[in-house]
Structure 1
């Protein structure tokens, strides 16, 4: 059989799995390959396939996919155990090895007579010598399949005995052994029948030599099993471009720390993929179109002069900026506090510009004062648009224009100039627009969570002691449902006033006593008590934004508009409109 990979042609052999594993060789999984990750369903499906093909005399074989491996230079010596780097197929090789071990243990449990057990072709000792170990070797080459990191440690411990050590936290080796062994016991078939099924398994044996393009082959061959994530493909693409000795260095110094920071050790890659999308957008300064793995490969070839190590270092450094942005706290440095405030706006499309800003700061291209001012303007921009309930469909293009504006000698000046050049649809609302909008904007009905954020900011602005507003709910001073008393108090225009203002910011505050206030009249809410006689009205609340309510004797249109004006004045000082240079 021949496989054509664009202009590259290689020979592949269709062979028996047992013949493949029976060779005196070691299949070494590179350190950067993903961890063993087969799930219960994958294991049970393999056992089911083995039993089905074993019982069907008319089926000569069952194809399980391909194994692609690269011959190491020292594998050419006749005296050495042949060592091969596994490019693709480690998940299947590992699971089959576990099946063979479980079959040996199942045989021991099934055949209690020692003489009969020793005669069995499926005894643990025979299976181990043939398929699991190179019995004349010592050290790592003793094992046929050499896994990476914790998986290899787990595999060695599993071979020693079947008790899982406490220091194995994430490897699925022991877990899947238990699943497979139980499946064999539940089947209650003869061990020889299982072995007959295993001997019918076939694979495509694809052996590369150093001059072959391993990465190209890896991408082109359509293997079965668990699909690779984009994170897997990017990592493999980068580390396959350098010689094995450098692969380990780059993985341990840069890639593995990044995997830990982005939660990839558990097998979850979504956070890495989000980061990588933002990273590519940041360095390319444009929105990504298409599969960003392909986009990245184009970027790599265009920047090949930087070398693989240079690009891996850059990705690692940007992952640090991403983590700094993701973990920003209001308890940290002034830059971390400014980052935290931008995150609170909920606009994460700005992330590529944040990464660029932090990169420039790290490279000494922008002063901390300018970084803080740019972040403050970003926060004000998004919050002013949120206050005015402006559409969010312009966020993508605006974030890209902000990102591009940072590609200048004076980033702050360029960022401001870009802000003032935005289209009307993309605008940053002025002070006048904020004040006019908030008079009648039904902000609560548009987004109660956004309203809570704004009220929280109003309440805690200029406070030294933070009030945890998460413990409070939004209170409609004029209630959402008018009672007869409220209609009487509001007068002839009660329905119009209610419809116009009930959900506006002038009519909203925070309280812990929503259920007690209910639809009480305004005068009752000001001075009401709970069932125990405790004063809980507006006059006794610690909430600062309710203080105005104790200065008026009634609640209607004039009072709501006056309070909206007061809160608007506060908001435009919290989220300032930047001055033109």
Structure 2
């Protein structure tokens, strides 16, 4: 390679075009992050020239360029920008803005010099003058607005070409308009230049000279021209941290299409058919997992790699992990093969995280959403992308949901799930992806960190565990109640067999958490010298005192035991249901008869209809209903088979 430090004028004055490879990312520099600082640097150099101070160069960094083979005499020389497209594109915005700013006939000499660095001459010897006239040719996502803005001869014409982006007073809109970057850059720099040039009207010519020289001669770049034997990808990786930080997916995209060149494939066709769907806003949207926030595409690739490699993938080294995948067994996968694999995984991943649709993985995504267990995703992709029929996939997903629900209800940790699901993935890969294989792996897990609870433990937890508030948060409880409602509907000949959307319903404690005023304790004989044990509580503090006694292990009298039993029962599954928000608010903490009347008038859920038959609601009623729901839970979330 050949490396040299050159001025902006030297960089652009030759008849050549710096072309951004079509697969590179779009232009991303902004006013706040880069343009303002660049103008500060230019202005500093221009002010120094006005003060007759010694000119010192300002380095903008490196640009890496790869000459392309020239065919015949017609056309301009083309160099691919391997690294530095943000700098080169911004410098063209600066030069275009100078041309928009200089209007006086006295400026003609400077206009000619700047124009020579802004556009290629002798269009009659070009194959495509409309393209080759530009010194920098951006990726296709930026081209339309780039051409439209840079071809404007003056500011009036620039406004005319983008009318929706300007106010009636000819100012660029500040609110409610997402401006094309080319337009925003030209407007910013031209306004900044005009303000600076006209600050001293008696010396405008001197300011023009200082500005043009500052840009063309004081700004410098390190130009690296690659030789044919140089590895452009390695150079790109080495320098990718300059400017706006690249995502791992930017590196992966570049690697893929340099691989396509080596495969003698048609990179543009591969891009249009297989990669361009990943350039949408959907895949660029950042998603949070724990403390990390990454573009959705990055999470997809991370998940897909784990499904392919059957091992944990370090997210901070995603690009290098990807390259390891791409050369498995020492034989590089073709770019087309890599893209087809990623496209297949993307289809399943989108359904998984979206939870919409009727495919097995979409239904699975809806069911596990409240648990936020993303370490399960690689295994889910492996199952969904397998050749199994849908009923077999559904069977496997049902077992995975059962595993999550049973462990959550039984208050077992989720901290080992990464190891559990990667181990399961590896075993299925070795033994075959089948429902029997998955059940064998899950059923064989032991220890508190990984076992799949048996029916007895699960049923007991459904009957007696404090689920809400307690072991489970609201999304998990709502999901469990919703699935139980769906099962109960399937057991009767209902006029509404289809489960409606219950996501907006409130989780309700039938016996309210603040039961003290309207819900007397069960009738138990009075103890000597004490008030009746079922007398209403004077305040919630009495219940709080009982809870404190339980915590420290103090013995309880009969009334205190009754209060403790009541407090324990409130958060059990048998006391939980779903209600319309307004019904729940109307019921508040009133006695059961008032709540039952509201249910008669307002509910059609199978969870609630049996409540209408109860004359009273107490610990015994909660136990009876809890038993019915626990039996249903054993069917909805079946456990390990003997």
- Normalising by the smaller structure, the TM-score range is 0.7 to 0.9
Residues 406 and 414, structure 1, Cα contact 8 Å, conserved in 2:
yes
Higher alpha-carbon deviation: 413-422 or 541-550 = 541-550
2:72 is the counterpart of 1:63: no
Q: What's the offset of the Cα at 1:298?
A: 2.2
Which residue is 1:142 aligned to? 133
Which residue is 1:172 aligned to? 181
Q: What's the offset of the Cα at 1:242?
A: 3.9
Q: Deviations over 1:137-176 (max 9, x none)?
A: 4242221111111312222111333223889988522222
Residues 230 and 273, structure 1, Cα contact 8 Å, conserved in 2:
yes
- Cα distance in 1 for partners of 2:594, 2:334 equals 74
Which residue is 2:146 aligned to? 155
Q: What's the offset of the Cα at 1:247?
A: 2.8
- Cα distance in 2 for partners of 1:78, 1:60 equals 39
1:323 aligned to 350, 354, 358, which one? 350
Change (3 A) 1:515 1:335: closer
Which residue is 2:283 aligned to? 263
- Cα distance in 1 for partners of 2:568, 2:122 equals 85
Alignment of 1:357-372 (within 5 A): 357-361=383-387, 366-372=388-394
Which residue is 2:590 aligned to? 520
- Cα distance in 2 for partners of 1:511, 1:537 equals 9
Q: Deviations over 1:8-39 (max 9, x none)?
A: xx331011112101111111111101011111
SS in 1 for 2:413: coil
- Cα distance in 1 for partners of 2:209, 2:353 equals 55
> What is the RMSD of the two structures over their aligned residues, measured on CA atoms?
2.9
SS in 2 for 1:205: strand
Which residue is 1:225 aligned to? 243
Structure 2 spans left out of the alignment, 5+ residues: 153-157, 166-176, 200-206, 287-292, 490-496, 524-533, 535-558
1:277 aligned to 302, 309, 331, which one? 302
SS in 2 for 1:203: strand
Residues 18 and 131, structure 1, Cα contact 8 Å, conserved in 2:
no
Change (3 A) 1:555 1:265: closer
Which residue is 2:506 aligned to? 473
Higher alpha-carbon deviation: 31-40 or 553-562 = 553-562
Which residue is 2:118 aligned to? 131
- Cα distance in 2 for partners of 1:309, 1:141 equals 30
- Cα distance in 1 for partners of 2:136, 2:595 equals 75
Residues 348 and 361, structure 2, Cα contact 8 Å, conserved in 1:
no
The count of corresponding residues between Structure 1 and Structure 2 is 549
SS in 2 for 1:86: strand
Alignment of 1:85-234 (within 5 A): 85-108=80-103, 111=104, 115-119=105-109, 121=110, 123=111, 126-136=113-123, 137=126, 138-161=129-152, 162=158, 163-164=161-162, 171-187=180-196, 188=198, 190-199=207-216, 200-221=218-239, 224-234=242-252
Change (3 A) 1:131 1:300: same
- Cα distance in 2 for partners of 1:140, 1:15 equals 25
Which residue is 1:412 aligned to? 435
SS in 1 for 2:23: coil
Residues 259 and 265, structure 1, Cα contact 8 Å, conserved in 2:
no
1:442 aligned to 457, 466, 491, which one? 466
Which residue is 2:272 aligned to? 252
Residues 134 and 141, structure 1, Cα contact 8 Å, conserved in 2:
no
Change (3 A) 1:181 1:504: farther
Residues 506 and 563, structure 1, Cα contact 8 Å, conserved in 2:
yes
- Cα distance in 2 for partners of 1:132, 1:165 equals 25
2:451 is the counterpart of 1:461: no
What TM-score comes out, normalization by structure 2 length? 0.79
Q: What's the offset of the Cα at 1:353?
A: 1.3
- Cα distance in 2 for partners of 1:44, 1:410 equals 56
Residues 360 and 393, structure 2, Cα contact 8 Å, conserved in 1:
no
2:376 aligned to 347, 350, 367, which one? 350
SS in 2 for 1:353: helix
2:610 is the counterpart of 1:507: no
SS in 2 for 1:482: coil
Structure 1 spans left out of the alignment, 5+ residues: 1-9, 528-535
